[in-house]
Every structure is written in C-alpha cells, then in structure tokens.
Structure 1
Amino acid sequence: MRFLAFAAGLLALASVASAQAVDPALLRDIAPTGRLRAAINLGNPVLAVRSAGEPSGVSVDLARELARRLGLPLDLIPFDAAGTVTEAAGGNVWDVAFLAIDPKRADQIDFTPPYVVIEGAYAVPVASDLREVADIDREGIRIAVGRGSAYDLYLSRTIRRATLVRAPTSPESLRLFTVDKLEVAANVRQPLERFVRETPGYRMIPGRFMIIEQAMGSPRGRALASRYLAEFVEEAKASGFVAAALARHSQPDAAVAAPARPR
C-alpha cells in the first residue's frame, strides 16, 4: 500500500510536469552549472539518512523529483548538520537545500512554504526534578544542542537563564548529553524519542518547546528559482507525494504541512 501511495503521488506530479515546458531562464537561475546540486542534511533523520551508503528520505525523493521535472542531472551533496548547509549558502556549493525555516537563515536563503512539520522536544535523566517544558529555563541547567540546528537557533533567542552547550551535530549532542552528564537534551522529537527508548535512565519531557517547519530553499537572489520551488512544494503536498514519501521512509509521526495561504 505504501508503494502504491508513493507511486500515485509520483504520477500526480508527473502529469503536472508533462504539461509544462521548462523556461530556459528558470534553468539558468535554479541550476547555473547545468546540474541540480541538492544539499541533503543528514543531521535530521526524519528528512534524510544514509542507506547503503547513499542518502535516502523525503528530502532526497523531492530532490530527485525536482531534477526529473526540470530535466537536469542531479548531484546529492550530503552535509552532517543544518548549520553547515547554511554556512555554504553563499559559496556556490548547492542550488537547493532542505532546512527548517528560521529568520537567521533567511538572511542567506529564500525559503518555500513548509512541506513537513515536526517538533522540538526535551529529554532529561529519569531522576531529574524537571517535569515540564516551563521548568527548563533555570540557572544551572545545561542544555545539549546541535550547533546551528533549527532548535539551537530558536533556543538561542528564547532561553534566558539556562545555558546551551553545543555539539558539532545533532546526533553528537546526544553523546555530549550523556558523557558530560548535562541536565537536558534538546532535539527533534523522533530521534530524541528513539534515544530514550534505547538508552536506559532517560525520559522525555511531555509536550514540545517549538514547531519546526521544514522547507526547501535556494540561495538569496534567485527569484525565478524561489518562485518555482514554492509552487513545486505546494504541488508535492497537494498531490500526496510528500505524505507517500514519509510513509515510504517510515516517518509516520512527521506531519505534512498545511497548504500555504495565498499572499
């Protein structure tokens, strides 16, 4: 059933694509090298993981479909963390990326509407007296985060008394949390829940501290590319492509984002 749903989504997008000719000006704007270079963030396993040495996941499926529609060869460029994708935005390294929307990143990246919505959550040792999200921001509380992640950027703006302790990537932040015996780990909900299931002595804090809107992005200044990607994302949601890809990659807890409101 999952395969059939995925195929249905793919065919729906294909029918739209076949009815549209690709503007050469768009191709020059979206892929100036003649190849579509897609940055794939492996720091968020909801979106992408390595499978048999190759990236796979909903963001990879979207990149492949975008390249197919444009008639361009595709280069998947893996990154270990979202922060390094953002740092490379001005370096002519990638043409499209898959990142959470954030105002700081928007200085360098034009984002589409979101295609997937996930949550930022906390975990603590079982014996901790921290019980609710509102308990976390206290003096003496150290929170492990992945440097440059969406939740790091958000907590950097909102935490007033606790201290953020940064690891190079989100997966490494969980090791930092345990090895340095920090009070709290912040992360995307799905990998954090898996960590708690697999690591005795830890528990989740109920609820969430943020909503994370995952979107596609292009380097600032590529107006044709930005507009086309926004339309592509809306079609991918409406056709069922995104939902089918999430199911195919066993991510049932990630939600397809709502349709964007007309501007």
Structure 2
Amino acid sequence: MSWAMRGLGWLLALGLSACTGLSQAPNAPSGSSLPPVASLVVTDQARQALAPTGSLRVGVYPGSPTSLVQNASGQRAGVALELGQFMGQQLGVPVQVVEFSRVAEIIDAIQRGQVDMTFTNASPARARQVTFTRPLVQLELGLLLPANSAVMRFAQIDRAGVRVGVSQGSSSQAALGQQLKLAQAVPVASLDVAQKMLRDGQLDAFATNKGILFEMREKLPDFKVSDDRWGLENLAIAVPQGRDAGRAFLAALADEVTRSGRLAAMAERAGLRGLAKPE
C-alpha cells in the first residue's frame, strides 16, 4: 500500500472518529452527482446565510489539489471545488465557481462578501478574517528543490543568499517570516510564476504544503520534494464571518463528508499527496 493511500486511509479514520450519528450515504464518482443527504437538515435561515445571492459562490485557485487541478483523467478536480459542489447541492442552490490566482485573493473576496466558501488552511491569522469549520485535512509543509541542490532538509535552507519562494499573502509567507533569519522569503504572484522562477534559477526553493509541491513537481521533473516537514497546515471549510445561522449545517456537512468517505474520495480524485502521517 502506498504512503498516499495510507494517508487517505488515515483521513477516513479521522472522519470516523468525528462521527455525530449522521446516516450512511453511498459514495459516488463525483460530488456534483451525489443525491442530497437526508440527515443534513437545511433551514431557510441557513440557506439564506450561506448563499445570500441564491447561488453558492465557491472560491478556487489553480495548481493545488486542495483547490483546483486537472487530474490524470483530464477532468477538473480539487477538494474545494468538489466540496463546494456538494455543499451547493445539499443547500439546494446552484454553484458558481470563481477562480483566483492565489488563495490570499480568495480570503479577501470572502471578507468582502464576494465569495461564499472555500477550503483552505485554518491559520490563526485567517481565523480572524473568516469563519472556519473544524479542520478536515492535515498537510505537511515542505520545500521544492532542484535535484542537484545540496539542501536536503529545511534546517539547511536558512543561509545568506538563499531565495525561498512563497505564495504572496499565504500562510506560508507569514510562517517563514518567523522561521528564516538569513535566507530571503520571496513572495510570488501565482504558482505558475513560481514554476517559471524555479526553472530560470530565480528561486532556490519554493515552500508550501506538500499537496501543492507534489503537483508542481509533475511539471518540474528535475526537482524534488523534501522528505522532512517544517510545519503543518490544518485545512477546513471557510465562509464569511457573520453567517451564524449556517453554523449547524456546516458542522454537520463537515462530519458527513469525513465520516462517509466522501472527502477521502475527493482527495484521491484530485491526486492529493503530502497528508500528515498520524502520530
């Protein structure tokens, strides 16, 4: 059994431990084709709070399996994408997928009330900006490095002259700023830009969660993902603050997708790797 599959098994086990007694629902090939789950009670107040325009606006950004990618079958996939489709179906409203260049733009749009939900790292800083469910996925943070790099572990990266790329406005940018003393953290506008800068030698490494790093490595075969981790991300469903009438539904939704195995199936379809090993 591969490490990735063991990680998905742990993800399913995490959901089982959080079960709140919702009825078992069958898995299906896509979140958008699943029937409504009878035990997910939706009040008019919850629907109005979570989809105030009559549609559920789902924020995604390309290049991350936790958000939006094109999978091995050539289909659009991603945990945020499928969670949004499933959530809209359970609410009984149409889904509008809104694409951004990077996650920081989605958080800003949620704060402005232009996006209704996404799936992202529930960092303390973001928890002051948006409302999160409990964490549903835990990912390791790592480095993407040239294959010939002398750096093997994060502890070796903090040297003068070393340029470490991070997504502009990301939680990784804030975390690295606290950990690096000599190396320079370089904010990058998008993952596509980061890949070009790595190819051109303008960056010595790129730091983010390993789900993104393994996805980037598919396009950068001469690079490697570090074996160690320099931190963890705890990903959760995010919605704008002030939508308290939808909290009970969101909590039940989070429990349903983990307990039933739907979330693990979404992660597998997106090719999500880098799940934290249980301790």
C-alpha distance in structure 1 between counterparts of 2:87 and 2:221, whole Å: 42
Do 1:120 and 1:208's aligned partners in 2 also have CA atoms closer than 8 Å? yes
Alpha-carbon distance change, 39 to 172 in structure 1, aligned in 2, over 3 angstroms:
same
C-alpha distance in structure 2 between counterparts of 1:8 and 1:194, whole Å: 22
Paired letter, 1:74: V
The corresponding residue for 2:168 is 147
- Counterpart check, 1:119 vs 2:119: no
Paired letter, 2:196: R
The corresponding residue for 1:184 is 205
Do 1:133 and 1:206's aligned partners in 2 also have CA atoms closer than 8 Å? no
C-alpha distance in structure 2 between counterparts of 1:108 and 1:257, whole Å: 29
The runs of 5 or more residues in structure 2 that have no matched partner are 1-25
* Deviation for aligned residue 1:195: 4.3
Secondary structure class of the residue paired with 1:113: coil
Secondary structure class of the residue paired with 1:105: helix
Q: 2:189 aligns with which of 138, 145, 168?
A: 168
- Counterpart check, 1:42 vs 2:23: no
C-alpha distance in structure 1 between counterparts of 2:248 and 2:259, whole Å: 17
The corresponding residue for 1:234 is 255
The runs of 5 or more residues in structure 1 that have no matched partner are 259-263
Do 2:58 and 2:116's aligned partners in 1 also have CA atoms closer than 8 Å? yes
Paired letter, 1:61: E
Do 2:65 and 2:270's aligned partners in 1 also have CA atoms closer than 8 Å? no
Paired letter, 1:18: A
Deviations 1:114-164 (A, max 9, x none): 222222211333443323211112222210111123322321233232211
Paired letter, 1:37: R
The corresponding residue for 1:31 is 51
Do 2:40 and 2:253's aligned partners in 1 also have CA atoms closer than 8 Å? no
Do 2:119 and 2:235's aligned partners in 1 also have CA atoms closer than 8 Å? yes
Do 2:136 and 2:254's aligned partners in 1 also have CA atoms closer than 8 Å? yes
Matching of residues 34-113 of structure 1 within 5 Å: 34-50=54-70, 55-113=76-134
TM-score, normalised relative to structure 1: 0.82
Secondary structure class of the residue paired with 1:18: coil
Paired letter, 2:186: V
* Deviation for aligned residue 1:34: 1.6
Greater per-residue strand proportion: 1
TM-score, normalised relative to structure 2: 0.77
When the two chains are superposed, the root-mean-square deviation of aligned CA atoms in Å is: 3.1
C-alpha distance in structure 2 between counterparts of 1:132 and 1:73, whole Å: 45
* Deviation for aligned residue 1:241: 0.7
Secondary structure class of the residue paired with 1:211: strand
C-alpha distance in structure 2 between counterparts of 1:254 and 1:132, whole Å: 16
Alpha-carbon distance change, 256 to 195 in structure 1, aligned in 2, over 3 angstroms:
closer
Alpha-carbon distance change, 151 to 104 in structure 1, aligned in 2, over 3 angstroms:
same
Secondary structure class of the residue paired with 2:120: strand
* Deviation for aligned residue 1:77: 1.1
C-alpha distance in structure 2 between counterparts of 1:179 and 1:161, whole Å: 22
Paired letter, 1:27: R
* Deviation for aligned residue 1:249: 3.3
Paired letter, 2:49: D
The corresponding residue for 2:4 is none
Secondary structure class of the residue paired with 2:249: helix
The corresponding residue for 1:261 is none
Larger CA deviation: 43-52 vs 229-238: 43-52
Aligned residues between the structures: 251
Paired letter, 1:42: P
The corresponding residue for 2:232 is 211
Secondary structure class of the residue paired with 1:88: helix
Alpha-carbon distance change, 210 to 174 in structure 1, aligned in 2, over 3 angstroms:
farther
* Deviation for aligned residue 1:93: 0.6
* Deviation for aligned residue 1:191: 4.1
The corresponding residue for 2:153 is 132
Larger CA deviation: 167-176 vs 195-204: 195-204
